[in-house]
């Protein structure tokens, strides 16, 4: 008979489903199960025949003096503010935090703000995940937090392999990532959930329409950061730009003010906080000026989107347009920390503290007491030094 629990590492265990009572599995699948008084278990991931769980000793949760965490931001780029936010949260929590960052080049500014930096191959290189795994093992990384869309699929499909040696990848399910990365699937998912969203067509579908209601909005089916986005005002533009944009989709054009919501879903997938920020200015696809708008209707839409997706983890972003008549129409979703998340964090939605607290098994109050009207105005700051890649 197979053992009930097989040790994988000092903190991770495998539970064999056939050897565990169904009620225990049911409790485990609710993401938290008390096995005995001194031990808590938290699910890391599931397979066909096992449940991988994480053990947290209650004495460790009470003691803060020796608590340490190693957090790795991948494709760290310019995310200096996010690094600083994790450090501030760790100071308040009395955690010995080591911030790691990875990128393909030392010319990424944030690589010079982390405690330990790691060069990795491009995402298109088959060795990307194996090399990242080596780094995570060697340095005992506790949390991996992705920052760009193009790495999400790779990490989601590999998170169980990381979990086996105690490294948690803060990432939504593969199904959520597939939906968010394909704008046709995004439209279908939102429509099915009865969430207001602009009508969307493939390029072939729009060309077959006998009548058009211009303007339209064209973008790549799998695009991000606003690249390849165009307003279409007539048939000639439709045909010409349709040849220029890679695998284009066409949407109903929506006039209104764009809002992005940072939605916190933690590790149990239950959305508990949505922070709307109105975009005032965007530079190269990332917000440079924004203001917090604590609008209950917008917040409820963000929470509804995350619930409809069903497999969100950590922080996800939901973009919508608010029309002059107050109609809220969802236009995009990104299952990762958005570039403008530092504004939500400064307003009081302390995502780094919430993530680290949940990871450590500590109780943390997650609510919507963030400040309304807080504005973010970004500016450039430089890193100086002799850099090998320059």
pLDDT in tens, 78-130: 999 999 999 999 999 999 999 999 999 999 999 999 999 999 999 999 999 99
The predicted structure's pLDDT at residue 280: 96
Residues 233-283 pLDDT 10s: 999 999 999 999 999 999 999 999 999 999 999 999 999 999 999 999 998
Peptide bond into 189 cis (omega under 30): no
Residue-by-residue DSSP string for 164-207: TTTPEE----HHHHHHHH-HHHHHHHHHHTT-----EEEHHHHH
Strands 50-57 and 39-46: antiparallel
Confidence of residue 55 (pLDDT cuts 50, 70, 90): very low
Q: Which residues touch 339 (CB under 8 Å, ≥6 apart)?
A: 79, 286, 287
Confidence of residue 390 (pLDDT cuts 50, 70, 90): low
The predicted structure's pLDDT at residue 368: 93
**Total count of residues recorded for the chain:** 390
Nearest to 308 by CA among 270, 262, 268, 251: 270
Give the domain ranges of the chain.
Answer: 5-60, 64-171, 176-181+256-377, 199-252
Cα–Cα distances in angstroms (integers) from residue 339 to residues 283, 288, 322, 342, in the given order: 11, 9, 20, 8
* Cβ atoms 356, 89 nearer than 8 A: yes
Given strand 230-232, what is the order of strands in its sheet?
A: 200-202, 248-252, 216-220, 230-232
pLDDT at 64 over 80: no
CATH number of 199-252: 3.30.1490.20
pLDDT, greater one: 105 or 284: 105
pLDDT at 133 over 70: yes
* Cβ atoms 308, 265 nearer than 8 A: no
DSSP state of 148: S
Distance CA 276, CA 292 (A): 6
Query: Worst-scoring range by mean pLDDT, 119-128, 220-229, 302-311?
Result: 220-229
Longest dimension (CA), the chain: 71
Confidence of residue 286 (pLDDT cuts 50, 70, 90): confident
Instruction: Please compute the mean of the pLDDT values over residues 28-57 and round it to a whole number.
Output: 37
Confidence of residue 226 (pLDDT cuts 50, 70, 90): confident
Nearest to 220 by CA among 232, 203, 236: 203
Instruction: Please compute the mean of the pLDDT values over residues 317-328 and round it to a whole number.
Output: 97
Query: For 64-171, which CATH class?
Result: alpha beta
pLDDT, greater one: 371 or 223: 371
Instruction: Please compute the mean of the pLDDT values over residues 320-340 and round it to a whole number.
Output: 96
Query: Worst-scoring range by mean pLDDT, 29-38, 58-67, 218-227, 341-350?
Result: 29-38
The predicted structure's pLDDT at residue 66: 61
Instruction: Please compute the mean of the pLDDT values over residues 179-185 and round it to a whole number.
Output: 97
* Cβ atoms 234, 250 nearer than 8 A: no
Instruction: Please compute the mean of the pLDDT values over residues 199-207 and round it to a whole number.
Output: 96
Query: For 176-181+256-377, which CATH class?
Result: alpha beta
pTM listed for this prediction: 0.83
Fold match flag (64-171 vs 176-181+256-377):
no
pLDDT at 58 over 60: no
């Amino acid at each position: 008979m197979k053992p009930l629990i097989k040790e994988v590492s000092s903190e991770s265990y495998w539970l064999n489903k056939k050897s565990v009572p169904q009620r225990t599995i049911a409790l485990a699948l609710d993401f938290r199960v008390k096995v005995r008084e001194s031990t808590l278990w938290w699910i890391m991931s599931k397979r066909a025949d096992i449940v991988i769980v994480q053990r947290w000793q209650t004495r460790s949760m009470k003691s803060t003096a020796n608590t340490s965490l190693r957090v790795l931001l991948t494709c760290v780029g310019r995310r200096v503010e996010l690094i600083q936010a994790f450090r501030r949260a760790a100071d308040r929590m009395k955690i010995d935090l080591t911030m790691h960052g990875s990128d393909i080049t030392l010319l990424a500014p944030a690589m010079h703000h982390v405690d330990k930096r790691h060069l990795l191959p491009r995402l298109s290189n088959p060795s990307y995940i194996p090399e990242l795994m080596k780094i995570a093992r060697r340095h005992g990384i506790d949390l991996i937090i992705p920052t760009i869309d193009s790495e999400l699929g790779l990490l989601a499909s590999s998170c169980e392999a990381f979990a086996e040696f105690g490294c948690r990848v803060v990432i939504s399910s593969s199904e959520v990532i597939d939906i968010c990365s394909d704008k046709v699937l995004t439209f279908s998912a939102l429509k099915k959930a009865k969430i207001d969203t602009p009508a969307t067509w493939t390029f072939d579908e729009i060309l077959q329409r006998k009548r058009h209601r211009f303007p339209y909005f064209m973008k790549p089916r799998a695009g991000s950061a606003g690249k390849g986005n165009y307003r279409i005002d007539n048939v000639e533009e439709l045909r010409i730009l349709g040849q220029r944009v890679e695998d284009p989709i066409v949407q109903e054009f929506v006039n209104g003010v764009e809002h992005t919501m940072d939605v916190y879903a933690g590790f149990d997938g239950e959305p508990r906080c949505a922070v709307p920020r109105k975009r005032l200015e965007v530079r190269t696809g990332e917000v440079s000026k924004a203001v917090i708008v604590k609008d209950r209707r917008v917040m409820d839409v963000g929470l509804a989107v995350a619930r409809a997706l069903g497999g969100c983890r950590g922080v996800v972003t939901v973009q919508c347009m608010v029309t002059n008549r107050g109609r809220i129409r969802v236009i995009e979703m990104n299952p990762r920390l958005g570039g403008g998340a530092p504004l939500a964090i400064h307003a009081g939605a302390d995502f780094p503290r919430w993530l680290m607290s949940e990871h450590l098994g500590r109780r943390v109050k997650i609510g919507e007491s963030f400040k309304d009207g807080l504005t973010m105005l970004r500016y450039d700051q430089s890193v100086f030094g002799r850099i090998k890649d320059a």
